[in-house]
Structure 1
Amino acid sequence: MERSFTDQLGRTIVVNYPPKRIVSIVPSQTELLFDLGLDAEVIGITKFCIHPIDKFASRAKVGGTKRLDLELIRSLKPDLIIGNKEENEKEQVEVLMSEFPIWMSDIYTLEDAQKTIAEIGMLINREPEAAYLNHLIYAGFTDLKTLALQNGIHKKVAYLIWRKPYMLAGRDTFIDNILTWNGLQNVIVESRYPELDLAELKLLKPDLVFLSSEPYPFKEKHLEEIGNAVPEARVMLVDGEMFSWYGSRLVKAVQYLFQLQKELY
Structure 2
Amino acid sequence: MDLRTLALTDAIGTVHKPAAGARIVCLVPSITELLCELGLAQQLLGRTGFCIHPAALVAAIPKVGGTKDVNLGKIRTLAPSHLIVNIDENEKPTVEALAEFVPHIVVTHPLAPRDNLALARLLGAIFCVDEAAARWCAQFEAEHALLRAAPKGPPQRVLYCIWQDPWMAVSADTYIARMLAEIGWRVAPLADPGRYPTFQWCAALVAGIDQVLLSSEPYRFTQAHVDALEQQIGKPVQLVDGEMLSWYGSRSVAGLRYLRSLIGSIS
TM-score normalised by the chain length of structure 1? 0.91
Q: In 2, distance between residues paired with 1:114 and 1:219?
A: 32
SS in 2 for 1:125: coil
Count residues with an aligned counterpart: 259
State the identity %. Answer: 36
RMSD of the TM alignment (CA)? 2.0
Aligned residues of 1:198 and 1:229 also touching (Cα < 8 A): no
Task: Tell me which residue corresponds to 2:216.
Answer: 213
| 1:193 to 2:196 alignment | yes
- Quick check: 1:117 aligned with 2:107? no
Q: Deviations over 1:156-214 (max 9, x none)?
A: 11100111101001111000100000111111254511001122674453112110011
Does the 8 Å contact 2:9/2:122 carry over to 1? no
> Which residue does the alignment assign to 2:100?
98
* Residue 179 of structure 1 pairs with residue 196 of structure 2: no
Structure 2 residue ranges without an equivalent (≥5): none
Instruction: Give the equivalent residue in structure 1 for 2:57.
Output: 55
Equivalent of residue 243 in structure 1, options 242, 245, 251: 245
* Structure 2: distance between partners of 1:65 and 1:240: 17
Structure 1 residue aligned with 2:135: 132
Query: What's the CA shift for 1:229?
Result: 2.8
Range with bigger deviation, 93-102 or 171-180: 93-102
Query: What amino acid is aligned across from residue 112 of structure 2 in structure 1?
Result: T
* Aligned equivalent of 1:33: 35
Work out which of the residue numbers 107, 110, 115 in structure 1 matches 2:110. Answer: 107
1:24 CA drift (Å)? 0.6
Q: Assess, with a 3 A threshold, how the Cα gap between structure 1 residues 249 and 201 changes in structure 2: closer, same or farther.
A: farther
Counterpart-to-counterpart distance in 1, 2:152 and 2:42: 46
Q: Which deviations, in whole Å up to 9, do the C-alpha atoms of 1:45-80 show, x marking residues without a partner? A: 000000001123211100000110000000000011
Task: Indicate the SS of the match to 1:159.
Answer: strand
Compared CA separation, residues 152 and 6, structure 1 to 2 (3 A):
closer
Taking the aligned partners of 1:199 and 1:229, their CA distance within structure 2 comes to 11
User: 2 CA distance for matches of 1:145 and 1:230?
Assistant: 33
CA 1:204–1:127 in 2, change beyond 3 Å: closer, same or farther?
A: farther
Aligned partner of 2:69 in structure 1 is: 67
For the Cα contact (< 8 Å) 1:169–1:188, is it kept in 2?
no
Counterparts of 1:20 and 1:89 in 2: how far apart (Å)?
A: 23
Q: 1:124 to 1:201 in 2, by over 3 A?
A: farther
Amino acid at match of 1:129: A
Q: Give the TM-score of the pair, scaled to structure 2.
A: 0.90
Provide the secondary structure at the position in 2 that maps to 1:51: coil
Q: CA deviation at 1:264?
A: 2.0
Structure 1 pair 204–76 and aligned structure 2 pair: CA distance change class (3 A): farther
Name stretches of at least 5 consecutive residues in structure 1 with no aligned partner. none
Cα pair distance change 1:131/1:92, threshold 3 Å: same
Matched residue type, 1:69: N
d(CA) in 1 for partners of 2:208, 2:144:
27
Q: What is the deviation of 1:14?
A: 5.4
CA distance in 1, matches of 2:152, 2:249: 28
